[in-house]
Chain A
């Protein structure tokens, strides 16, 4: 079946540090892959997406590459800011559904 496994948090980084949040998936077929971000008290916002192998999604300095050979979609950012503190969810498409990972809480300290 379809599932998403995400790096457990919480993750605490200093401002300007490098960020990696690991995400791997299992799927039948070739799903689209997403990273959503949830700021405190808010709903989910799409951060970036990739729809086929080797696609790179990018937004606001965040990047993730769809790696079919390793079934991974790791999120990276070269220099995090305090405003990036949030919960990050990796997700993949199913049939009229999204399969979410459990979320990774990121805290960036000045």
Chain B
């Protein structure tokens, strides 16, 4: 089945220690998104890639970076995690030129910062 996969599902890191979260997709979608979701809140868009074009949200901290080496993979790098970065991180994809802009979500990676 075509899907969005996130690894790992649970990640524990230490304060200030860089961490990378991974997302892959078999849907061949052009657009990939990273969201941050804190407890009992709506997902908040951090950035998205439209093919290789990177689009950062204005209020995304510089501590968050992303890479998309090919269509299938996208990575979220947190350079120096703080306690406030503990959250669920959701990856999503959508087709370009899809008027409905339906997004397909992965299961998420729950990040704990010690």
Chain A contact residues, CB within 8 Å of chain B: 32, 34, 36, 41-46, 49, 51, 89, 93-94, 96-98, 100-103, 105
B101 touching A98, Cβ below 8 Å: yes
B108 touching A32, Cβ below 8 Å: no
B101 touching A96, Cβ below 8 Å: yes
Interface range, B side: 20 to 34
Binds A, one of B38-46, B58-66, B67-75, B76-84: B38-46
A89-B42, A96-B31, A96-B55 known; A42+B100 contact, CB < 8 A: no
What residue of chain A has the Cβ atom nearest to residue B104's Cβ?
A46
A103 touching B40, Cβ below 8 Å: yes
B105 touching A44, Cβ below 8 Å: yes
Q: Check if B8 is an interface residue, CB within 8 A of chain A.
A: no
Q: Check if B90 is an interface residue, CB within 8 A of chain A.
A: yes
Chain B contact residues, CB within 8 Å of chain A: 6, 31, 40-43, 45, 48, 50, 55, 88, 90, 92, 94, 99-108, 110
Sample of 11 more A-B contacts, CB < 8 Å, known A44-B92, A46-B103, A96-B94? A32-B99, A43-B105, A44-B105, A49-B100, A89-B42, A94-B101, A98-B101, A100-B42, A100-B43, A102-B42, A103-B42
CB distance from A11 to the nearest CB of B (A): 14
A43-B107, A96-B31 known; A103+B102 contact, CB < 8 A: no
A residues in contact with B41, CB < 8 Å: 102-103
Q: Give Cα A96 to B50, complex, Å.
A: 9
A102-B41, A103-B42 known; A93+B108 contact, CB < 8 A: no
A96-B31, A96-B55, A103-B41 known; A43+B108 contact, CB < 8 A: yes
A residues in contact with B92, CB < 8 Å: 44
B residues in contact with A97, CB < 8 Å: 45, 48, 101
B90 touching A43, Cβ below 8 Å: yes
CB distance from B45 to the nearest CB of A (A): 6
B42 touching A49, Cβ below 8 Å: no
A100-B42, A102-B42, A103-B41 known; A43+B100 contact, CB < 8 A: no
